[in-house]
Amino acid sequence: MRTLTTVAECRTALLPHRLQEKIIGFVPTMGALHEGHFSLIRQSKLHCDVTVVSIFVNPTQFGPSEDFDKYPRTFDDDALALSDMDVEFLFAPDREEMYPRVGGISVNVGDVAARYEGAVRPGHFNGVATVVASLFNIIQPSIAFFGQKDAQQVAVIRRMVEDLHWPVEIQAMPTIREESGLALSSRNRYLDEGSRIDAAMLYRVLENVANVLENHGSVGQALEHGFELARREIPAHSLDYLDVVDSETFQSLTSLEPLGERINEGISAAIIIAARIGGTRLIDNRPVTIKAERS
Protein backbone atom coordinates (compact mmCIF):
# COMPACT_ATOMS: atom_id res chain seq x y z
CA MET A 1 0.00 0.00 0.00
CA ARG A 2 1.21 3.51 -0.82
CA THR A 3 0.33 6.38 1.47
CA LEU A 4 -0.19 9.66 -0.36
CA THR A 5 -0.51 12.99 1.38
CA THR A 6 -0.64 15.58 -1.40
CA VAL A 7 -3.01 16.21 -4.29
CA ALA A 8 -0.10 16.18 -6.75
CA GLU A 9 1.14 12.80 -5.46
CA CYS A 10 -2.35 11.40 -5.73
CA ARG A 11 -2.78 12.55 -9.33
CA THR A 12 0.61 11.15 -10.37
CA ALA A 13 0.00 7.82 -8.66
CA LEU A 14 -3.45 7.32 -10.16
CA LEU A 15 -2.77 8.58 -13.69
CA PRO A 16 -1.30 5.30 -15.04
CA HIS A 17 -4.33 3.39 -13.72
CA ARG A 18 -6.70 5.86 -15.33
CA LEU A 19 -4.85 5.66 -18.66
CA GLN A 20 -5.17 1.88 -18.52
CA GLU A 21 -8.91 2.38 -17.96
CA LYS A 22 -8.77 0.62 -14.61
CA ILE A 23 -11.86 0.83 -12.42
CA ILE A 24 -10.89 3.05 -9.49
CA GLY A 25 -12.86 2.43 -6.29
CA PHE A 26 -12.92 5.06 -3.58
CA VAL A 27 -13.91 4.84 0.09
CA PRO A 28 -13.84 8.20 1.92
CA THR A 29 -13.50 7.94 5.71
CA MET A 30 -12.56 9.97 8.77
CA GLY A 31 -10.48 7.08 10.15
CA ALA A 32 -10.89 5.24 13.47
CA LEU A 33 -11.72 2.39 11.14
CA HIS A 34 -14.08 -0.41 12.09
CA GLU A 35 -15.91 -3.29 10.43
CA GLY A 36 -18.40 -0.83 8.84
CA HIS A 37 -15.56 0.85 6.93
CA PHE A 38 -13.97 -2.51 6.15
CA SER A 39 -17.21 -3.76 4.57
CA LEU A 40 -17.10 -0.82 2.11
CA ILE A 41 -13.44 -1.47 1.36
CA ARG A 42 -14.16 -5.19 0.71
CA GLN A 43 -16.83 -4.18 -1.82
CA SER A 44 -14.38 -1.89 -3.55
CA LYS A 45 -11.72 -4.62 -3.62
CA LEU A 46 -14.32 -7.00 -5.09
CA HIS A 47 -15.63 -4.71 -7.84
CA CYS A 48 -12.72 -2.41 -8.67
CA ASP A 49 -9.18 -2.82 -10.02
CA VAL A 50 -7.66 -0.25 -7.68
CA THR A 51 -8.93 0.87 -4.27
CA VAL A 52 -8.22 4.27 -2.74
CA VAL A 53 -9.21 4.90 0.90
CA SER A 54 -9.02 8.42 2.27
CA ILE A 55 -8.62 9.32 5.93
CA PHE A 56 -9.37 12.95 6.66
CA VAL A 57 -11.19 14.32 9.69
CA ASN A 58 -12.97 17.07 7.83
CA PRO A 59 -13.19 20.22 9.96
CA THR A 60 -15.90 21.87 7.84
CA GLN A 61 -18.51 19.24 8.67
CA PHE A 62 -18.23 19.80 12.44
CA GLY A 63 -20.15 22.55 14.17
CA PRO A 64 -18.30 24.89 16.59
CA SER A 65 -19.53 22.98 19.67
CA GLU A 66 -19.06 19.52 18.17
CA ASP A 67 -16.39 16.87 18.73
CA PHE A 68 -13.77 17.76 16.06
CA ASP A 69 -10.95 18.01 18.61
CA LYS A 70 -11.78 14.82 20.44
CA TYR A 71 -12.82 12.80 17.36
CA PRO A 72 -10.88 9.50 17.63
CA ARG A 73 -7.68 9.48 15.56
CA THR A 74 -5.98 6.07 15.24
CA PHE A 75 -3.91 6.59 12.12
CA ASP A 76 -1.20 3.96 12.67
CA ASP A 77 -3.70 1.17 13.41
CA ASP A 78 -5.85 2.27 10.47
CA ALA A 79 -2.91 2.24 8.04
CA LEU A 80 -1.90 -1.24 9.24
CA ALA A 81 -5.43 -2.59 8.76
CA LEU A 82 -5.66 -1.07 5.25
CA SER A 83 -2.33 -2.53 4.31
CA ASP A 84 -3.48 -5.97 5.56
CA MET A 85 -6.53 -5.63 3.31
CA ASP A 86 -4.27 -5.00 0.30
CA VAL A 87 -5.66 -1.53 -0.31
CA GLU A 88 -3.52 -0.01 -3.06
CA PHE A 89 -3.61 3.65 -1.95
CA LEU A 90 -4.26 5.51 1.28
CA PHE A 91 -4.84 9.23 0.79
CA ALA A 92 -4.25 11.09 4.05
CA PRO A 93 -3.95 14.82 3.38
CA ASP A 94 -3.61 17.45 6.08
CA ARG A 95 -5.99 20.35 6.52
CA GLU A 96 -3.93 22.83 4.50
CA GLU A 97 -3.73 20.42 1.56
CA MET A 98 -7.51 20.01 1.42
CA TYR A 99 -8.37 23.63 2.22
CA PRO A 100 -5.61 25.84 0.77
CA ARG A 101 -7.40 29.01 1.84
CA VAL A 102 -9.74 30.05 4.61
CA GLY A 103 -13.19 30.96 3.26
CA GLY A 104 -12.71 29.09 0.00
CA ILE A 105 -15.51 28.01 -2.30
CA SER A 106 -17.94 25.51 -0.82
CA VAL A 107 -20.80 23.36 -2.04
CA ASN A 108 -24.25 24.43 -0.93
CA VAL A 109 -26.60 21.46 -0.78
CA GLY A 110 -30.29 22.20 -1.13
CA ASP A 111 -33.48 20.97 0.44
CA VAL A 112 -32.33 17.36 0.79
CA ALA A 113 -30.36 18.64 3.79
CA ALA A 114 -33.07 20.91 5.17
CA ARG A 115 -34.30 18.56 7.91
CA TYR A 116 -33.04 15.94 10.34
CA GLU A 117 -29.19 15.90 10.47
CA GLY A 118 -29.12 19.02 8.31
CA ALA A 119 -31.35 20.89 10.77
CA VAL A 120 -29.71 19.61 13.96
CA ARG A 121 -26.22 20.21 12.55
CA PRO A 122 -26.40 23.42 10.46
CA GLY A 123 -23.70 23.50 7.78
CA HIS A 124 -22.81 19.84 8.29
CA PHE A 125 -23.88 18.64 4.85
CA ASN A 126 -22.34 21.63 3.07
CA GLY A 127 -19.07 20.57 4.73
CA VAL A 128 -19.56 16.94 3.74
CA ALA A 129 -20.47 17.80 0.14
CA THR A 130 -17.54 20.22 -0.17
CA VAL A 131 -14.95 17.70 1.00
CA VAL A 132 -16.45 14.86 -1.05
CA ALA A 133 -16.53 17.11 -4.15
CA SER A 134 -12.89 17.96 -3.58
CA LEU A 135 -11.94 14.31 -3.00
CA PHE A 136 -13.83 13.24 -6.13
CA ASN A 137 -11.87 15.82 -8.14
CA ILE A 138 -8.56 14.64 -6.72
CA ILE A 139 -9.15 10.91 -7.04
CA GLN A 140 -11.65 10.82 -9.93
CA PRO A 141 -13.07 7.48 -8.90
CA SER A 142 -15.20 5.27 -11.12
CA ILE A 143 -17.22 4.06 -8.11
CA ALA A 144 -17.44 5.59 -4.61
CA PHE A 145 -18.67 3.53 -1.68
CA PHE A 146 -20.72 4.97 1.19
CA GLY A 147 -22.51 3.44 4.16
CA GLN A 148 -26.29 3.40 4.28
CA LYS A 149 -25.77 4.02 8.01
CA ASP A 150 -25.51 7.71 7.10
CA ALA A 151 -28.64 7.65 4.94
CA GLN A 152 -29.09 11.40 4.60
CA GLN A 153 -25.42 11.73 3.63
CA VAL A 154 -26.00 9.18 0.86
CA ALA A 155 -29.04 11.18 -0.33
CA VAL A 156 -26.96 14.40 -0.35
CA ILE A 157 -24.08 12.81 -2.27
CA ARG A 158 -26.40 11.15 -4.79
CA ARG A 159 -28.13 14.51 -5.33
CA MET A 160 -24.81 16.34 -5.74
CA VAL A 161 -23.52 13.82 -8.28
CA GLU A 162 -26.79 13.96 -10.20
CA ASP A 163 -27.18 17.75 -10.16
CA LEU A 164 -23.54 18.44 -11.02
CA HIS A 165 -23.33 15.64 -13.61
CA TRP A 166 -20.42 13.86 -11.95
CA PRO A 167 -19.25 10.75 -13.82
CA VAL A 168 -19.06 8.63 -10.67
CA GLU A 169 -21.24 5.74 -9.56
CA ILE A 170 -22.41 5.90 -5.95
CA GLN A 171 -22.79 2.58 -4.15
CA ALA A 172 -24.49 2.57 -0.75
CA MET A 173 -23.77 -0.50 1.37
CA PRO A 174 -25.81 -1.96 4.25
CA THR A 175 -25.13 -1.00 7.86
CA ILE A 176 -22.86 -3.30 9.85
CA ARG A 177 -24.08 -3.85 13.41
CA GLU A 178 -22.98 -5.39 16.66
CA GLU A 179 -24.91 -8.45 17.83
CA SER A 180 -27.05 -6.14 20.00
CA GLY A 181 -28.17 -4.27 16.88
CA LEU A 182 -26.04 -1.21 17.66
CA ALA A 183 -24.71 0.20 14.38
CA LEU A 184 -20.91 0.34 14.34
CA SER A 185 -19.62 3.90 14.51
CA SER A 186 -16.31 5.55 15.33
CA ARG A 187 -18.24 7.53 17.95
CA ASN A 188 -19.20 4.31 19.80
CA ARG A 189 -15.76 4.63 21.42
CA TYR A 190 -17.26 7.44 23.52
CA LEU A 191 -19.89 5.10 25.03
CA ASP A 192 -19.40 3.45 28.42
CA GLU A 193 -20.85 -0.01 29.04
CA GLY A 194 -24.23 1.26 30.27
CA SER A 195 -24.65 3.70 27.38
CA ARG A 196 -23.72 0.94 24.94
CA ILE A 197 -26.67 -1.12 26.19
CA ASP A 198 -28.97 1.93 25.97
CA ALA A 199 -27.68 2.70 22.48
CA ALA A 200 -28.85 -0.69 21.20
CA MET A 201 -32.36 0.63 21.90
CA LEU A 202 -32.18 2.75 18.74
CA TYR A 203 -32.23 -0.37 16.61
CA ARG A 204 -35.05 -1.94 18.63
CA VAL A 205 -37.17 1.17 18.02
CA LEU A 206 -36.40 0.97 14.28
CA GLU A 207 -37.35 -2.72 14.22
CA ASN A 208 -40.56 -1.99 16.13
CA VAL A 209 -41.62 0.72 13.66
CA ALA A 210 -40.71 -1.54 10.72
CA ASN A 211 -42.73 -4.40 12.19
CA VAL A 212 -45.89 -2.34 12.40
CA LEU A 213 -45.36 -1.00 8.86
CA GLU A 214 -44.72 -4.48 7.52
CA ASN A 215 -47.86 -5.78 9.18
CA HIS A 216 -50.08 -3.44 7.20
CA GLY A 217 -49.93 -0.62 9.73
CA SER A 218 -49.96 2.99 8.66
CA VAL A 219 -46.92 5.25 8.96
CA GLY A 220 -48.74 7.12 11.75
CA GLN A 221 -49.47 3.94 13.72
CA ALA A 222 -45.94 2.66 13.24
CA LEU A 223 -44.39 5.90 14.50
CA GLU A 224 -46.77 6.01 17.45
CA HIS A 225 -45.50 2.57 18.51
CA GLY A 226 -41.93 3.70 18.02
CA PHE A 227 -42.34 6.86 20.10
CA GLU A 228 -44.05 4.90 22.85
CA LEU A 229 -41.23 2.36 23.00
CA ALA A 230 -38.60 5.11 22.90
CA ARG A 231 -40.34 6.97 25.74
CA ARG A 232 -40.49 3.79 27.84
CA GLU A 233 -36.98 2.58 27.21
CA ILE A 234 -34.86 5.69 26.87
CA PRO A 235 -36.62 8.23 29.11
CA ALA A 236 -33.43 9.80 30.39
CA HIS A 237 -32.03 10.38 26.93
CA SER A 238 -33.14 12.86 24.36
CA LEU A 239 -34.62 11.63 21.14
CA ASP A 240 -33.81 14.15 18.39
CA TYR A 241 -36.10 12.63 15.80
CA LEU A 242 -37.86 9.47 14.69
CA ASP A 243 -39.55 9.53 11.30
CA VAL A 244 -40.28 7.72 8.06
CA VAL A 245 -38.78 9.47 5.03
CA ASP A 246 -38.35 9.13 1.29
CA SER A 247 -34.70 8.04 1.16
CA GLU A 248 -34.03 10.02 -2.03
CA THR A 249 -35.50 13.39 -1.05
CA PHE A 250 -35.44 13.04 2.74
CA GLN A 251 -38.96 14.44 2.88
CA SER A 252 -41.17 13.11 5.68
CA LEU A 253 -43.75 10.52 4.59
CA THR A 254 -47.19 10.22 6.12
CA SER A 255 -47.95 7.30 3.82
CA LEU A 256 -45.91 5.05 1.53
CA GLU A 257 -48.43 5.72 -1.25
CA PRO A 258 -46.50 8.60 -2.93
CA LEU A 259 -43.56 6.27 -3.50
CA GLY A 260 -45.66 4.33 -6.01
CA GLU A 261 -43.58 2.00 -8.15
CA ARG A 262 -40.35 3.17 -6.52
CA ILE A 263 -41.14 1.06 -3.46
CA ASN A 264 -40.37 -2.03 -5.55
CA GLU A 265 -37.16 -0.63 -6.98
CA GLY A 266 -34.96 -1.09 -3.95
CA ILE A 267 -34.69 1.09 -0.89
CA SER A 268 -37.07 3.98 -1.38
CA ALA A 269 -38.18 4.71 2.18
CA ALA A 270 -36.33 4.62 5.48
CA ILE A 271 -37.14 4.84 9.16
CA ILE A 272 -34.64 7.26 10.68
CA ILE A 273 -33.71 7.92 14.29
CA ALA A 274 -31.27 10.11 16.19
CA ALA A 275 -30.73 10.35 19.94
CA ARG A 276 -28.23 11.56 22.46
CA ILE A 277 -27.09 8.63 24.60
CA GLY A 278 -24.76 9.30 27.52
CA GLY A 279 -23.63 12.58 25.92
CA THR A 280 -22.98 11.00 22.52
CA ARG A 281 -25.17 11.75 19.54
CA LEU A 282 -26.02 8.61 17.60
CA ILE A 283 -27.95 8.16 14.35
CA ASP A 284 -29.37 5.05 12.76
CA ASN A 285 -31.90 4.05 10.13
CA ARG A 286 -33.56 1.05 8.59
CA PRO A 287 -34.77 0.72 5.02
CA VAL A 288 -38.46 0.02 4.37
CA THR A 289 -38.86 -2.39 1.49
CA ILE A 290 -42.48 -3.44 1.57
CA LYS A 291 -44.97 -3.62 -1.27
CA ALA A 292 -46.79 -0.38 -2.23
CA GLU A 293 -50.24 -1.91 -1.71
CA ARG A 294 -49.45 -2.31 2.00
CA SER A 295 -49.25 1.43 2.55
- For residue 239, the surrounding DSSP H or E stretch is strand 238-246
34 is catalytic: no
Whichever of 21 and 76 has its CB closer to ligand AMP, that residue is: 76
Residue 64's nearest CA partner among 104, 121, 118, 125 is 121
d(CA 224, CA 193): 29
> In angstroms, what is the minimal distance from the CB of 171 to ligand AMP?
10
- Please say which residue, 189 or 216, places its beta carbon nearer to ligand AMP: 189
CB-nearer residue toward ligand AMP: 8 or 80: 80
Residue 52, beta-bridge partner list: 26, 89
CB neighbour list of residue 212: distance below 8 Å, 6 or more residues apart:
221, 222, 225, 226
Total residues at interface with ligand AMP (CB under 6 A): 17
Residue 150 interacts with ligand AMP (CB under 6 A)? yes
Question: Does 176 engage in binding with ligand AMP (CB under 6 A)?
Answer: yes
143-147 and 169-173 beta bridge pairing: parallel
Instruction: Give the pairing of strands 2-4 and 280-288.
Output: unpaired
* Nearer of residues 59 and 258 to ligand AMP, judged by Cβ: 59
Contact predicate 110/21, CB 8 Å: no
Site string for ligand AMP, 14-43 (x = CB under 6 A): ---------------xx-----xx-xx---
Beta bridge partners of 252: 245
Distance, in Å, from the CA atom of 71 to the CA atom of 78, rounded to the nearest integer, reads: 14
Stretch that binds ligand AMP, among 62-70, 105-113, 184-192, 256-264 (CB under 6 A): 184-192
Report, in Å, the least distance between residue 135 CB and ligand AMP.
12
Q: Please give the residue ranges that form the binding site for ligand AMP (CB under 6 A).
A: 29-30, 36-37, 39-40, 146-147, 149-150, 173, 175-176, 183-186
Active-site positions read: 37
